[in-house]
Amino acid sequence: MKKIRIGVIGLGHNGRAFCDIYAERSDCELVAVCDLDNSRVEDAVSTYGCKGYTNYEILQDPSIEVISIHTSDNAHREPFIKAIETGHHVFVEKPMADTLEDVEAMVAAYRAHPDCIAAVGHVLRFNRYFEIIKKWVDLGLLGDIFYMEGDYIHDLRYQYYMEDWKISKEIPMLGGGCHPLDLLRWYAGDVTEVTAFSNHIAYPEMAEDASMVAIFKFAGGATGKVTSLYGPCSPMPYGYNLSIYGTKGTVVRDKVSFDGLGHQWMDIPDTFDPTHSYVPEVEHFLDCVRTEKNLWLHRRSPPTPLSLLCMRYALPKKKPSLRCHRSDFRNFPKIVLTNVPRCGMMSLKLNKGC
């Protein structure tokens, strides 16, 4: 089997995790790494025995087929577009981007180069627990879904001592909340309306509010709630607190109940993997590259980024001057989910397909 040759841009915590995976696999080769921090590059070169760059010269290496992007959330646009424009297949870590303008530019670049395979890494779609529930939904075992919940409750206060962007630029509903919202949209379809609240009480060192909650309306009529907390004094809840209420059945974390069983809870087999393994999504992406199957159009491909991106305008910045952005999103391909910040509240109706 021909090895797929990969270059990694961004050598923070996430980037190094992917480097480890690429370096250990027999079906791909980690050819080169790139980061603005030369010390990071030198360490990675020493560890993996690959080439190292501190600029976009990595894109001029003719042997590299795939670029894997793991820069900070706000710095995905430039390497993504440059990689696409130089003919590379691209994997970019979630969230795809943190502004509508960046998403629009990235989608335009992809559309201009349809032979390139592009993927955004929503890792929970490859977790066996969530896949089982997806199968139940698709088989109709839960009936018509009318309400859902999912939370990203994770004590990330240790990130204060990590990379600066995690304090100064990361948006909790974007960086963390996109996980459960991606699942809810996977189960119930497009988001059509969103209302959001946030506060700056916990983890005040973050520039953005570290406590956010949003209520979504989905195209099929269901409603759902997503909470994102970065400063709780507690462990992460099981299964991201996933709850799905349907006309024939209900899932609440590790329990399921079906209509006609007398309101009895049954245990769901313990298939939830809390380790956040990236291996299954890497395997799937490499398979798409190898077989020329475009992951953006595949059943696993993450949905559009617009649902959460619009929340950035549903929550006002600092003072009560509300900002609302409306666009015609109907023609966007189905890609990823993303974004939100600061305190306030506002409802925003979205065009079909968000």
CATH number assigned to the domain comprising residue 112: 3.40.50.720
Are both 178 and 322 inside the same structural domain?
A: yes
Are both 61 and 165 inside the same structural domain?
A: no
Q: How many domains does the chain have?
A: 2
Are the beta carbons of 55 and 34 closer than 8 angstroms?
A: yes
pLDDT of 202 reads: 97
Are both 118 and 132 inside the same structural domain?
A: no
Are the beta carbons of 182 and 300 closer than 8 angstroms?
A: no
Q: What is the rounded distance in angstroms from the CA atom of residue 38 to the CA atom of residue 22? A: 21
pLDDT of 341 reads: 31
CA dihedral 81, 172, 124, 95 (to 10 degrees): -10
Are both 238 and 206 inside the same structural domain?
A: yes
Q: What is the rounded distance in angstroms from the CA atom of residue 348 to the CA atom of residue 324? A: 8
Is the residue at 213 inside a domain?
A: yes
**3-state SS assignment for residue 349:** strand
Q: The domain containing residue 313 runs over which residues?
A: 124-272+302-349
pLDDT of 263 reads: 87
Between 153 and 262, name the one with better pLDDT. Answer: 153
**What single-letter DSSP state applies at residue 3?**
P
CATH of the domain at 184: 3.30.360.10
Is the residue at 285 inside a domain?
A: no
Count how many residues are written for the chain.
354
Supply the pTM of this predicted model: 0.84
Is the residue at 290 inside a domain?
A: no
Is the residue at 257 inside a domain?
A: yes
Are both 168 and 63 inside the same structural domain?
A: no
Are both 211 and 337 inside the same structural domain?
A: yes
The answer on pLDDT for 153 being more than 90 is yes
pLDDT of 103 reads: 86
Q: What is the rounded distance in angstroms from the CA atom of residue 97 to the CA atom of residue 92? A: 10
Is the residue at 66 inside a domain?
A: yes
The answer on pLDDT for 223 being more than 70 is yes
Are both 101 and 156 inside the same structural domain?
A: no
pLDDT of 294 reads: 61
Are both 193 and 224 inside the same structural domain?
A: yes
Q: Which two tokens stand for residue 164?
A: 């600066």
Neighbour count for residue 190 (Cβ, 10 Å): 21
Are the beta carbons of 15 and 8 closer than 8 angstroms?
A: yes
Please state the three-class secondary structure of 226-254 as a single string: EEEECCCCCCCCHHHHCEEEECCEEEECC
Q: What is the rounded distance in angstroms from the CA atom of residue 231 to the CA atom of residue 204? A: 9
The answer on pLDDT for 299 being more than 50 is no
**3-state SS assignment for residue 192:** strand
Are both 132 and 55 inside the same structural domain?
A: no
Counting DSSP H helices and E strands in the chain, the numbers are: 11, 15
Instruction: Using the 3D structure, point to which of 123, 154, 174 is the last residue of a domain.
Output: 123
Element containing residue 48 per DSSP (H, E): helix 38-48
Q: Which two tokens stand for residue 114?
A: 């349809």
Q: Which two tokens stand for residue 283?
A: 């395997």
Is the residue at 208 inside a domain?
A: yes
Are both 118 and 141 inside the same structural domain?
A: no
Report the Cα 57 to chain-centroid distance in Å: 28
Neighbour count for residue 75 (Cβ, 10 Å): 18
The answer for residues whose C-beta is within 8 angstroms of residue 244's C-beta and 6 or more apart is 133, 137, 142, 145, 147, 148, 187, 250, 251
Is the residue at 297 inside a domain?
A: no
Is the residue at 219 inside a domain?
A: yes
Are both 209 and 164 inside the same structural domain?
A: yes
pLDDT of 338 reads: 32
Query: What does the angle CA 283 – CA 125 – CA 2 come to, to the nearest 5 degrees?
Result: 10
- Read off the pLDDT of residues 236-293 as tens digits, 9 standing for 90 and up: 999 999 999 999 999 999 999 999 888 899 999 999 998 889 999 999 999 999 987 7
Averaged over 107-124, what is the pLDDT?
91
**3-state SS assignment for residue 199:** strand
Instruction: Using the 3D structure, point to which of 123, 143, 177 is the last residue of a domain.
Output: 123
Task: Measure the N-to-C terminal CA separation of the chain; round to a whole number of Å.
Answer: 39
**3-state SS assignment for residue 278:** coil
Are both 59 and 177 inside the same structural domain?
A: no
Instruction: Using the 3D structure, point to which of 91, 123, 155 is the last residue of a domain.
Output: 123
Q: Which two tokens stand for residue 149?
A: 């919940």
- Which of 30-39, 43-52, 172-181, 310-319 is predicted with the least confidence, judged by mean pLDDT? 310-319
Task: Report whether the peptide linkage leading into residue 235 is cis, meaning its omega lies within 30 degrees of zero.
Answer: no
Are the beta carbons of 173 and 340 closer than 8 angstroms?
A: yes
Q: What is the rounded distance in angstroms from the CA atom of residue 282 to the CA atom of residue 276? A: 12
Q: What's the whole-number average pLDDT of the chain? A: 85
